[in-house]
Protein backbone atom coordinates (compact mmCIF):
# COMPACT_ATOMS: atom_id res chain seq x y z
CA UNK A 1 0.00 0.00 0.00
CA UNK A 2 1.03 3.61 -0.42
CA UNK A 3 2.73 4.93 2.73
CA UNK A 4 3.98 8.49 3.43
CA UNK A 5 7.74 8.44 4.00
CA UNK A 6 8.47 11.98 5.26
CA UNK A 7 6.94 14.82 7.25
CA UNK A 8 6.90 17.31 4.36
CA UNK A 9 4.72 15.05 2.22
CA UNK A 10 2.47 14.45 5.24
CA UNK A 11 1.98 18.22 5.58
CA UNK A 12 1.15 18.53 1.86
CA UNK A 13 -1.48 15.80 2.22
CA UNK A 14 -2.91 17.56 5.27
CA UNK A 15 -3.25 20.78 3.26
CA UNK A 16 -5.18 18.85 0.62
CA UNK A 17 -7.34 17.55 3.46
CA UNK A 18 -7.97 21.14 4.54
CA UNK A 19 -8.99 22.13 1.01
CA UNK A 20 -11.31 19.12 0.69
CA UNK A 21 -12.92 19.55 4.11
CA UNK A 22 -13.41 23.25 3.46
CA UNK A 23 -14.85 22.78 -0.04
CA UNK A 24 -17.23 19.81 -0.02
CA UNK A 25 -20.09 21.93 1.36
CA UNK A 26 -20.15 23.85 -1.93
CA UNK A 27 -21.83 20.80 -3.45
CA UNK A 28 -24.55 21.09 -0.81
CA UNK A 29 -25.02 24.74 -1.75
CA UNK A 30 -25.27 23.80 -5.43
CA UNK A 31 -27.73 20.97 -4.86
CA UNK A 32 -29.66 23.04 -2.32
CA UNK A 33 -31.05 25.26 -5.07
CA UNK A 34 -33.50 22.46 -5.97
CA UNK A 35 -32.76 19.68 -3.46
CA UNK A 36 -33.31 19.38 0.29
CA UNK A 37 -30.13 18.77 2.26
CA UNK A 38 -31.61 15.62 3.86
CA UNK A 39 -31.84 14.08 0.38
CA UNK A 40 -28.46 15.46 -0.66
CA UNK A 41 -26.93 13.84 2.38
CA UNK A 42 -27.77 10.32 1.19
CA UNK A 43 -25.79 10.88 -2.00
CA UNK A 44 -22.96 12.40 0.03
CA UNK A 45 -22.72 9.31 2.24
CA UNK A 46 -22.85 6.99 -0.76
CA UNK A 47 -20.00 8.97 -2.31
CA UNK A 48 -17.85 8.48 0.81
CA UNK A 49 -18.50 4.72 0.88
CA UNK A 50 -17.81 4.21 -2.83
CA UNK A 51 -14.60 6.24 -2.60
CA UNK A 52 -13.37 4.21 0.39
CA UNK A 53 -13.76 1.00 -1.63
CA UNK A 54 -12.01 2.38 -4.71
CA UNK A 55 -9.16 3.79 -2.61
CA UNK A 56 -8.68 0.52 -0.76
CA UNK A 57 -8.54 -1.51 -3.97
CA UNK A 58 -6.04 0.91 -5.58
CA UNK A 59 -3.59 2.76 -3.30
CA UNK A 60 -4.43 0.41 -0.44
CA UNK A 61 -3.52 -2.65 -2.48
CA UNK A 62 -0.36 -1.55 -4.32
CA UNK A 63 3.32 -1.63 -3.32
CA UNK A 64 5.29 -4.00 -1.13
CA UNK A 65 5.00 -2.20 2.24
CA UNK A 66 2.25 -2.82 4.76
CA UNK A 67 -0.69 -5.18 4.40
CA UNK A 68 -2.98 -5.16 1.38
CA UNK A 69 -6.52 -3.83 1.78
CA UNK A 70 -8.43 -7.11 1.59
CA UNK A 71 -5.84 -9.02 3.64
CA UNK A 72 -5.96 -6.36 6.30
CA UNK A 73 -9.77 -6.42 6.56
CA UNK A 74 -9.60 -10.14 7.30
CA UNK A 75 -7.26 -9.84 10.29
CA UNK A 76 -8.56 -6.76 12.14
CA UNK A 77 -9.74 -7.52 15.67
CA UNK A 78 -13.42 -7.07 16.61
CA UNK A 79 -12.53 -4.27 19.05
CA UNK A 80 -10.84 -2.26 16.30
CA UNK A 81 -13.75 -2.86 13.93
CA UNK A 82 -16.10 -1.50 16.57
CA UNK A 83 -13.86 1.50 17.27
CA UNK A 84 -13.79 2.57 13.61
CA UNK A 85 -17.54 1.96 13.23
CA UNK A 86 -18.26 4.11 16.30
CA UNK A 87 -16.06 6.83 14.78
CA UNK A 88 -18.22 6.73 11.65
CA UNK A 89 -21.46 6.98 13.63
CA UNK A 90 -20.21 9.91 15.72
CA UNK A 91 -18.98 11.75 12.65
CA UNK A 92 -22.25 11.16 10.84
CA UNK A 93 -24.40 12.59 13.61
CA UNK A 94 -22.08 15.60 13.89
CA UNK A 95 -22.04 16.19 10.15
CA UNK A 96 -25.81 15.93 9.77
CA UNK A 97 -26.13 18.61 12.42
CA UNK A 98 -23.46 20.71 10.68
CA UNK A 99 -25.30 20.37 7.36
CA UNK A 100 -28.48 21.55 9.07
CA UNK A 101 -26.59 24.50 10.54
CA UNK A 102 -25.23 25.44 7.10
CA UNK A 103 -28.75 25.42 5.66
CA UNK A 104 -29.95 27.75 8.42
CA UNK A 105 -27.03 30.06 9.19
CA UNK A 106 -24.87 29.94 6.03
CA UNK A 107 -21.45 28.43 5.34
CA UNK A 108 -19.46 31.37 6.67
CA UNK A 109 -21.18 31.21 10.06
CA UNK A 110 -21.71 27.46 10.55
CA UNK A 111 -18.32 26.19 9.37
CA UNK A 112 -16.06 28.35 11.56
CA UNK A 113 -18.24 27.71 14.62
CA UNK A 114 -18.73 23.97 14.21
CA UNK A 115 -15.41 22.94 12.72
CA UNK A 116 -13.47 25.45 14.82
CA UNK A 117 -14.79 23.99 18.05
CA UNK A 118 -14.06 20.52 16.69
CA UNK A 119 -10.49 21.64 16.03
CA UNK A 120 -9.79 22.82 19.57
CA UNK A 121 -11.38 19.87 21.38
CA UNK A 122 -10.25 17.35 18.77
CA UNK A 123 -6.58 18.30 19.01
CA UNK A 124 -6.70 17.91 22.78
CA UNK A 125 -8.37 14.48 22.51
CA UNK A 126 -6.02 13.23 19.79
CA UNK A 127 -2.87 14.53 21.46
CA UNK A 128 -3.77 12.81 24.72
CA UNK A 129 -4.45 9.59 22.80
CA UNK A 130 -1.26 9.71 20.68
CA UNK A 131 1.14 12.52 21.71
CA UNK A 132 3.41 13.62 18.87
CA UNK A 133 5.03 17.00 18.17
CA UNK A 134 5.96 19.90 20.45
CA UNK A 135 2.92 20.48 22.69
CA UNK A 136 3.62 24.18 23.40
CA UNK A 137 3.82 25.15 19.71
CA UNK A 138 0.91 22.89 18.80
CA UNK A 139 -1.43 24.36 21.38
CA UNK A 140 -0.21 27.88 20.60
CA UNK A 141 -1.38 27.25 17.05
CA UNK A 142 -4.70 25.93 18.32
CA UNK A 143 -5.09 29.04 20.51
CA UNK A 144 -4.50 31.32 17.50
CA UNK A 145 -7.13 29.41 15.54
CA UNK A 146 -9.52 29.78 18.46
CA UNK A 147 -8.98 33.55 18.39
CA UNK A 148 -9.81 33.46 14.67
CA UNK A 149 -13.05 31.62 15.47
CA UNK A 150 -14.02 34.25 18.04
CA UNK A 151 -13.24 37.09 15.63
CA UNK A 152 -15.34 35.39 12.94
CA UNK A 153 -18.24 34.98 15.37
CA UNK A 154 -18.09 38.71 16.17
CA UNK A 155 -18.06 39.57 12.46
CA UNK A 156 -20.98 37.22 11.80
CA UNK A 157 -22.93 38.72 14.69
CA UNK A 158 -22.46 42.23 13.34
CA UNK A 159 -23.41 41.14 9.82
CA UNK A 160 -26.52 39.16 10.71
CA UNK A 161 -27.80 41.28 13.58
CA UNK A 162 -31.52 41.81 13.06
CA UNK A 163 -31.47 40.14 9.66
CA UNK A 164 -31.54 36.37 10.12
CA UNK A 165 -33.55 36.22 13.31
CA UNK A 166 -34.21 32.93 15.07
CA UNK A 167 -33.13 30.74 12.16
CA UNK A 168 -29.56 32.05 12.22
CA UNK A 169 -29.36 31.73 16.02
CA UNK A 170 -30.73 28.18 15.88
CA UNK A 171 -28.19 27.32 13.18
CA UNK A 172 -25.35 28.66 15.31
CA UNK A 173 -26.43 26.58 18.33
CA UNK A 174 -26.66 23.44 16.19
CA UNK A 175 -23.21 24.17 14.73
CA UNK A 176 -21.75 24.31 18.26
CA UNK A 177 -23.31 20.94 19.16
CA UNK A 178 -21.98 19.48 15.90
CA UNK A 179 -18.49 20.77 16.70
CA UNK A 180 -18.42 19.14 20.13
CA UNK A 181 -19.45 15.77 18.65
CA UNK A 182 -17.04 16.07 15.73
CA UNK A 183 -14.10 16.50 18.10
CA UNK A 184 -14.28 12.81 19.04
CA UNK A 185 -14.77 10.86 15.78
CA UNK A 186 -11.15 11.02 14.58
CA UNK A 187 -9.76 9.50 17.78
CA UNK A 188 -11.94 6.38 17.49
CA UNK A 189 -10.67 5.69 13.98
CA UNK A 190 -7.05 6.51 14.84
CA UNK A 191 -7.25 4.13 17.82
CA UNK A 192 -7.97 1.26 15.42
CA UNK A 193 -4.71 1.91 13.52
CA UNK A 194 -1.07 1.27 14.39
CA UNK A 195 0.06 4.88 13.92
CA UNK A 196 3.67 4.06 14.80
CA UNK A 197 4.22 1.42 12.13
CA UNK A 198 2.20 1.50 8.91
CA UNK A 199 4.96 -0.53 7.17
CA UNK A 200 4.42 -3.56 9.45
CA UNK A 201 1.28 -2.94 11.51
CA UNK A 202 0.60 -4.81 14.71
CA UNK A 203 -1.61 -7.88 14.07
CA UNK A 204 -5.25 -7.09 14.76
CA UNK A 205 -4.84 -3.37 14.01
CA UNK A 206 -5.91 -1.61 10.81
CA UNK A 207 -4.07 0.26 8.08
CA UNK A 208 -5.38 3.73 7.10
CA UNK A 209 -7.18 2.24 4.09
CA UNK A 210 -9.07 -0.48 5.93
CA UNK A 211 -9.82 1.84 8.88
CA UNK A 212 -11.23 4.45 6.49
CA UNK A 213 -13.43 1.83 4.79
CA UNK A 214 -14.83 0.58 8.13
CA UNK A 215 -15.35 4.20 9.16
CA UNK A 216 -17.31 4.79 5.92
CA UNK A 217 -19.45 1.72 6.61
CA UNK A 218 -20.19 3.17 10.06
CA UNK A 219 -21.32 6.42 8.42
CA UNK A 220 -23.58 4.55 5.99
CA UNK A 221 -25.19 2.26 8.57
CA UNK A 222 -25.80 5.06 11.08
CA UNK A 223 -27.28 7.20 8.32
CA UNK A 224 -30.14 4.73 7.99
CA UNK A 225 -31.16 5.77 11.50
CA UNK A 226 -30.01 9.38 11.82
CA UNK A 227 -31.02 10.71 8.42
CA UNK A 228 -34.34 8.86 8.41
CA UNK A 229 -35.23 10.65 11.65
CA UNK A 230 -34.16 14.02 10.22
CA UNK A 231 -36.12 13.39 7.00
CA UNK A 232 -39.27 12.81 9.04
CA UNK A 233 -38.59 15.59 11.57
CA UNK A 234 -36.48 18.17 9.69
CA UNK A 235 -34.88 21.19 11.36
CA UNK A 236 -36.25 23.46 8.64
CA UNK A 237 -39.15 22.91 6.23
CA UNK A 238 -41.58 20.04 5.69
CA UNK A 239 -40.75 16.32 6.04
CA UNK A 240 -39.35 14.53 2.99
CA UNK A 241 -39.60 10.86 2.02
CA UNK A 242 -37.52 8.24 0.25
CA UNK A 243 -39.87 8.51 -2.72
CA UNK A 244 -38.76 12.16 -3.00
CA UNK A 245 -35.16 10.94 -3.08
CA UNK A 246 -35.74 8.48 -5.92
CA UNK A 247 -37.53 11.15 -7.96
CA UNK A 248 -34.34 13.22 -8.06
CA UNK A 249 -32.47 13.74 -11.31
CA UNK A 250 -29.25 11.81 -11.87
CA UNK A 251 -27.30 15.05 -12.24
CA UNK A 252 -28.55 16.19 -8.84
CA UNK A 253 -27.59 12.86 -7.23
CA UNK A 254 -24.12 13.11 -8.76
CA UNK A 255 -23.53 16.50 -7.10
CA UNK A 256 -24.04 14.87 -3.71
CA UNK A 257 -21.84 11.90 -4.61
CA UNK A 258 -19.13 14.35 -5.68
CA UNK A 259 -19.38 16.07 -2.30
CA UNK A 260 -18.83 12.73 -0.57
CA UNK A 261 -15.83 11.94 -2.76
CA UNK A 262 -14.25 15.33 -2.03
CA UNK A 263 -14.70 14.91 1.72
CA UNK A 264 -13.62 11.26 1.57
CA UNK A 265 -10.42 12.14 -0.25
CA UNK A 266 -9.52 14.69 2.42
CA UNK A 267 -10.27 12.30 5.28
CA UNK A 268 -8.35 9.37 3.77
CA UNK A 269 -5.29 11.57 3.18
CA UNK A 270 -5.48 12.77 6.78
CA UNK A 271 -5.33 9.21 8.09
CA UNK A 272 -2.56 8.30 5.65
CA UNK A 273 -0.54 11.35 6.78
CA UNK A 274 -1.09 10.59 10.47
CA UNK A 275 1.65 7.97 10.46
CA UNK A 276 4.32 10.65 9.98
CA UNK A 277 2.61 13.79 11.28
CA UNK A 278 0.78 12.24 14.23
CA UNK A 279 -2.97 12.14 14.76
CA UNK A 280 -3.22 15.50 16.56
CA UNK A 281 -1.25 17.46 13.95
CA UNK A 282 -2.86 15.70 10.99
CA UNK A 283 -6.31 16.40 12.42
CA UNK A 284 -5.43 20.00 13.33
CA UNK A 285 -4.15 20.91 9.87
CA UNK A 286 -7.19 19.41 8.19
CA UNK A 287 -9.45 21.35 10.49
CA UNK A 288 -8.07 24.57 9.03
CA UNK A 289 -11.06 23.98 6.73
CA UNK A 290 -13.10 26.89 8.19
CA UNK A 291 -10.70 29.33 6.54
CA UNK A 292 -11.24 27.65 3.18
CA UNK A 293 -15.01 27.52 3.73
CA UNK A 294 -15.07 31.17 4.75
CA UNK A 295 -13.24 32.11 1.55
CA UNK A 296 -15.88 30.27 -0.49
CA UNK A 297 -18.65 31.92 1.50
CA UNK A 298 -17.22 35.41 1.14
CA UNK A 299 -15.97 35.45 -2.45
CA UNK A 300 -18.23 32.93 -4.23
CA UNK A 301 -21.51 32.79 -2.30
CA UNK A 302 -21.38 36.48 -1.27
CA UNK A 303 -22.61 35.74 2.28
CA UNK A 304 -20.98 38.98 3.50
CA UNK A 305 -22.04 41.14 0.58
CA UNK A 306 -22.51 44.74 1.66
CA UNK A 307 -20.60 44.25 4.91
CA UNK A 308 -19.33 47.32 6.73
CA UNK A 309 -15.68 48.28 6.95
CA UNK A 310 -15.59 46.99 10.52
CA UNK A 311 -16.84 43.55 9.46
CA UNK A 312 -14.34 43.37 6.61
CA UNK A 313 -11.52 44.26 9.00
CA UNK A 314 -12.63 41.50 11.38
CA UNK A 315 -12.70 38.99 8.53
CA UNK A 316 -9.17 39.98 7.52
CA UNK A 317 -8.03 39.48 11.13
CA UNK A 318 -9.73 36.09 11.16
CA UNK A 319 -7.67 34.92 8.18
CA UNK A 320 -4.48 36.34 9.71
CA UNK A 321 -5.00 34.41 12.95
CA UNK A 322 -5.93 31.25 11.05
CA UNK A 323 -2.77 31.39 8.92
CA UNK A 324 -0.59 32.09 11.97
CA UNK A 325 -2.19 29.23 13.86
CA UNK A 326 -1.73 26.75 11.03
CA UNK A 327 1.90 27.81 10.69
CA UNK A 328 2.51 27.11 14.38
CA UNK A 329 0.86 23.69 14.07
CA UNK A 330 3.15 22.77 11.16
CA UNK A 331 6.25 23.90 13.08
CA UNK A 332 5.17 21.85 16.11
CA UNK A 333 5.46 18.64 14.12
CA UNK A 334 8.89 19.47 12.75
CA UNK A 335 10.40 19.84 16.25
Which pTM value belongs to this model?
A: 0.89
How large a percentage of the chain has pLDDT more than 90? Answer: 58
DSSP-H helix ranges across 233-302:
242-246, 250-277, 279-286, 289-299
| pLDDT(162) > 80 | no
38-to-88, 226, 232 alpha-carbon distances in Å: 18, 10, 10
User: What's residue 306's pLDDT?
Assistant: 83
User: What's residue 236's pLDDT?
Assistant: 77
pLDDT in tens, 172-207: 889 899 999 999 999 999 999 998 888 888 999 999
| Coil vs helix vs strand at 193 | strand
| pLDDT(282) > 50 | yes
pLDDT in tens, 225-275: 999 999 999 887 899 999 999 999 999 999 999 999 999 999 999 999 999
* Better-scored residue on pLDDT, 21 or 73: 73
DSSP string, 53-113: HHHHHTGGG-SSSS--HHHHHHH--HHHHHHHHHHHHHHHHHHHHHHHHHHHH-HHHHHHH
Q: From 308, 25, 301, 290, select the one nearest 148 (Cα to Cα).
A: 290
Question: Is the CB of residue 232 less than 8 Å from the CB of residue 239?
Answer: yes
How many residues are there in the chain? Answer: 335
If you average pLDDT over every residue of the chain, what do you get?
89
Question: Is the CB of residue 6 less than 8 Å from the CB of residue 259?
Answer: no
| Coil vs helix vs strand at 55 | helix
Amino acid sequence: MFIVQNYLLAVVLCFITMLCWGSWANTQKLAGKTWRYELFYWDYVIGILLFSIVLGLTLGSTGEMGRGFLTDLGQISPDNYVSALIGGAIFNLANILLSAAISMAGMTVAFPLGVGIALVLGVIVNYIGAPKGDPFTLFLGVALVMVAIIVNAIASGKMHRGASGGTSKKGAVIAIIAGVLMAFFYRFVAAAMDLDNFESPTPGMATPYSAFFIFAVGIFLSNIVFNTVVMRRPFVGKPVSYSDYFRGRMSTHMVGVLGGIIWGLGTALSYIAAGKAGAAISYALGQGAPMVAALWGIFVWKEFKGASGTVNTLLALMFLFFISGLGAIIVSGAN
